[in-house]
Each structure stands twice: as C-alpha cells, then as structure tokens.
Amino acid sequence: MRDNPLNSILYTNIPEISDLGAKIGILGQGYVGLPLTMASARRFTIFGYDICTDTIENLKAGSSHIQDIITDEHLSQHLGKTYFPTSDPEALRRRDILIICVPTHRAKKYGFIPRFIETSGKINEFMKMHVINLADRGLRKAGKRLYGAKVAVMGLTYKKNISDPRESPAIKIIEELVNPGTEVRVYDPFAPSLETKAGVFTSAGSVGEALAGAECAVFLVDHDCDRGISMERVKGLMASPVVVDGKNLFEGGEGVVLLGIGKGEM
C-alpha cells in the first residue's frame, strides 16, 4: 500500500480549512468530481486530479467531456485561475484537503478505501439483487413467474438527467433478469442503448412502447421528464401491472401490485 505515491499524500495530517485561500485536491474528474470541482473553484483553488491523461489534456485545453453537465464555458470561467487539471500525483502534495470522487474499484487500487465505502459497495450490490427479488415476488402475487415474463426496465443511466450509463445498476439488474429467461425491454430518454454481458439492449422509443404488454415494470431512474407518468397510464399500458418502484415515483393504486425499495409492498 505504501508503494503508491498517493498514499504518503493522503495519509498526511492536514490542517482545518479556515479561509478562502485553502488549496483543495479533488481526485477524479468525472461525473461527480468535475461538477464538484467547478462549484468549489468559485471560492477555492482546486487541483483536479485524474489518472486518465486524455481527460486531463482535454480539460487543460478547455474541453469538457461531460457537456450535458459541465460546458466548455463553465471550464473557461475557472481554468488557469482557480482550477488546475493534472494527472501528476505530486500536484496534490501540500494541499489543505483531498476529496475522493472515484469509483470504488479505482480507489481500491490506491489503497485508501475506508471501511464504510467498502460496506456501501456491498449494499449497492445487494440492492440490485433486491430489485430482482421484488420483481419475482410481485409477479408471483399476480400469478406469474419471472421465467418468460415480459419485464420493462425503465431507466438505464447512472443517475437522473444524464446520458452516462457507466456504473448503472441497470446493467447488473438486466443481466440477472435475462439469466432465468425473462424477456427484457428497456427505456431511457437519455441513453439510446446499454451494453451488458447479456447483450446490447436498445431503448424503446417511448414510455408507451416500453410498457405496452409488459407484465412487470422496474423503475430505476427518476429523470425529470419521466416524473409526470401516472400510475393510471402505467396500469393501462401493461398486461399485468406489477411495478417495482426504485425511486418513489408512484403511490399505490387499485389493481396494481406495487413494490418499493425500502417499503415492501404498497
């Protein structure tokens, strides 16, 4: 663990931030790290670190790789003034504080994952399987089985209102649904397709197309544009309205088997 150059930086005692002159290092310049960097650069000097040299070179040139969240104009406001992208670990030395915004598996390579992060990763994996179990329970209540059922997976991206499907829970959930012989269709207005070990799944063109004739619908992402979907519409489109609501989108309805994560059956 001590062979990694980041370890001596990370485990050094750091003083408390008490003024706006603090210099902060943010590890990871992706969908979490870069927005945090831009917000922090309004008040502090930020050194944005990433191991991907292509990403860093593009950022240095003023080009954002997540245009749907951070535009080139956002970058230009801080680049070279309070924001300094780098792939050199030494640039993080003597920073007042370090903030880690990288996936668990990458962070694990650096040897500085606290136990609570590892635990959260295990919980995330459990929750994906919990979704499968809820779908199975709901279908059984409706007199059906997971095998051969038509299941619509609604939401393919990592989080709402973005187009990035990397690290999306939908990947594992789709793979586990396909395994017992479920017929899976998918929908996401932000992601045209999703690559999984079970193959590439192409998004339906609309909510109606995805839900038409489905026996179970699993809602995984709460895109703003999808929040207006009513349970009555969902019920009218599906062959048997079994709904797993992972984002608290719906209230219970008559004739609907509705199961929510953390709520059981409603």
Q: Which amino acid is at 21?
A: G
* Contact criterion met (CB below 8 Å) for 98 and 11: no
Active site residue 216: no
Three-class SS state of 200: strand
Encoded tokens for 19: 């003024």
Quick one: tokens of 146? Answer: 């997971």
| Chain CA centroid to CA 210, Å | 21
Give the CA dihedral 223, 225, 231, 234, nearest 10 degrees. -90
Pair 148, 239: CB distance under 8 Å: no
Comparing CA positions, the residue from 183, 209, 236 lying closest to residue 256 is: 236
Calpha distance 41→187 (Å, rounded): 36
Q: Which two three-digit tokens encode residue 235? A: 């019920």
Task: List the structure tokens of 211.
Answer: 């839900």
Pairing of strands 193-196, 183-187: unpaired
Exposed/middle/buried for residue 14 (C-beta within 10 Å: 0-12, 13-18, 19+): middle
Using DSSP bridges, classify how beta strands 83-86 and 97-100 pair: parallel, antiparallel or unpaired: unpaired
Tell me which of 52, 101, 216, 225 is the catalytic residue: 101
Question: Coil, strand, or helix at residue 152?
Answer: strand
What is the set of active-site residues?
Answer: 101
